[in-house]
């Protein structure tokens, strides 16, 4: 069972209920690896955008240290999996990553040197 960030369980589980791990295993076994990788990447992108202050509530959740970690994790995931997920899936994710890297650079009071920004050890320097 793979949820994106907007999915919620239909009913809250009672504390005495035991999850059906066999059913969960069967569900995840049916999901192609590409879909799992893309879902994780989209979740990292969404979380990074929130930490960059790009959500509706902007400054309330802004935390550039956390955003740096999320962007670097996303860059590492994309670097490691790009050849496995095909350019059809990788290209839009790379575009999103670059947008996040540029937004990070704009949000930073003291910008990183080229090549030192979040994820740039995987992507190379990012310029506007």
Distance from C-alpha of 92 to C-alpha of 97, rounded to nearest angstrom:
9
Distance from C-alpha of 68 to C-alpha of 21, rounded to nearest angstrom:
34
Residue 3 has pLDDT above 60, yes or no: no
Residue 1 has pLDDT above 50, yes or no: no
pLDDT for residue 15: 57
Distance from C-alpha of 92 to C-alpha of 86, rounded to nearest angstrom:
11
pLDDT in tens, 90-128: 999 999 999 999 999 999 999 899 999 999 999 999 987
pLDDT in tens, 31-87: 999 999 999 999 999 999 999 999 998 899 999 999 999 999 999 999 999 999 999
Residue 92 main-chain phi, psi, to 5 deg? -65, -30
């Amino acid at each position: 069972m793979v949820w994106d960030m907007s999915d919620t369980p239909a009913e809250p589980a009672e504390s005495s209920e035991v999850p059906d791990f066999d059913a969960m295993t069967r569900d995840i076994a049916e999901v192609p690896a590409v879909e799992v990788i893309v879902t994780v990447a989209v979740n990292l992108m969404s979380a990074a955008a929130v930490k960059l202050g790009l959500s509706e509530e902007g400054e309330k959740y802004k935390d550039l240290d956390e955003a740096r970690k999320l962007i670097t994790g996303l860059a590492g995931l994309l670097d490691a999996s790009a050849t496995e997920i095909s350019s059809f899936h990788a290209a839009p994710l790379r575009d999103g990553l670059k947008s996040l890297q540029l937004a990070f650079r704009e949000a930073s009071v003291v910008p990183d040197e080229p090549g030192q920004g979040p994820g740039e050890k995987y992507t190379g320097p990012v310029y506007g």
